[in-house]
Amino acid sequence: MFVIAAPGQGSQKSGFLEPWLESSSHRRNLARWSELIELDLIEHGTISDQDTITDTAVAQPLIVAAGIIAGRALLDALPEGASLAFAGHSVGEFTAAALSGVISDDDAVRLVALRGRAMAAAAAEIPTGMSAVLGADLEILAAALEEAGLYAANYNGAGQVVIAGERSALARFQENPPEGTRVIPLQVAGAFHTSYMHSAVSALAEASSGVITREGVHPLYTNRDGSRVEHRETLGYLVDQVARPVRWDLCMESFTRDGIQGMMELAPAGALVGLAKRALKGVPTVALNTPDDVASAAELVSGS
């Protein structure tokens, strides 16, 4: 089984879409989605600066749109009958749901645009943020977070947990972290995947009520608990995960259990490949940051 993984917010880099736009079909799709969500994805993926594309309302649809065009190019290049599975980190779950065939590409981009706006609005209500904690023992960290009034938002595996909460509490936690850990503030606008996002959950639930799901062509893993998800459950999980922790660690455990042979991360790639190299030792990986990387991914699958 080869896992195609879709990254989450924070993976975007200024100009990262430029090489993909040499394809006229990719440019047409991005132009159409830009009209659909009233946001210029081509401009933001090519000339907008890093501060602009860090904005939650811009970053989320940009990342998902990029992942879909990279994923479609990859699927076209892979041998017929390849054993594939999909998973996404946080907002990347929408990319994975589209590419696995559970929801349409248009619905994925449309819902994520609303998700980004709703999460940005929720984040504006109270000054909150997120920090990465490296080297933490989960039991010790859980007790320290409860005492600090903070939450574990992303369990990324390989000794990395992202925590979230009010900025003042995060600052105090960084000053006095659990022994043996390192705390790194992240450039995000709010406490995502916590109860601070409940208003965004309601908005996304309403927007997704008319979306049609289909039986996926390929298996899809969920951030909820790392399990394979049935298509009828997918939308509910995508909505709930806005205010629930991301369990990427459990996804990687499931990949190992199910016999992963390799992992390919869609654009903008790097973060999930990095985690895989530490937690899925010996599993070959490919980061698809340009169309040239598609050939490397196809070689990985064909050579299995």
Task: Scan for tokens 């992240």, then name that residue.
Answer: 186
Which helix or strand (DSSP H or E) is residue 131 part of? strand 128-134
User: Under 8 Å CB-to-CB from 3, ≥6 apart: which residues?
Assistant: 84, 85, 86, 87, 221, 255, 260, 262, 263, 264
Task: Scan for tokens 């790639």, then name that residue.
Answer: 269
Q: Tell me how far apart the terminal alpha carbons of the chain are, to the nearest angstrom.
A: 10
Please state, in angstroms and rounded to a whole number, the distance separating the CA atoms of residues 190 and 129.
4
- Radius of gyration over alpha carbons of the chain, in Å? 18
Show the CA angle centred on residue 47, arms to residues 42 and 51, nearest 5°.
Answer: 105
Please state, in angstroms and rounded to a whole number, the distance separating the CA atoms of residues 287 and 303.
17
Active site residues: 90, 193
- 200 alpha-carbon distance from chain centroid: 17
Q: Which of 122, 168, 127, 123 is nearest to 149 (CA)?
A: 168
**What is the SS3 assignment for 172-236?**
HHHHCCCCCCEEEECCCCCCCCCHHHHHHHHHHHHHHCCCCCCCCCCCEECCCCCCECCHHHHHH
Q: Would you call the peptide bond into 268 cis, given omega within 30 degrees of 0 as the criterion?
A: yes
DSSP 3-state of 156: strand
Please state, in angstroms and rounded to a whole number, the distance separating the CA atoms of residues 166 and 177.
16
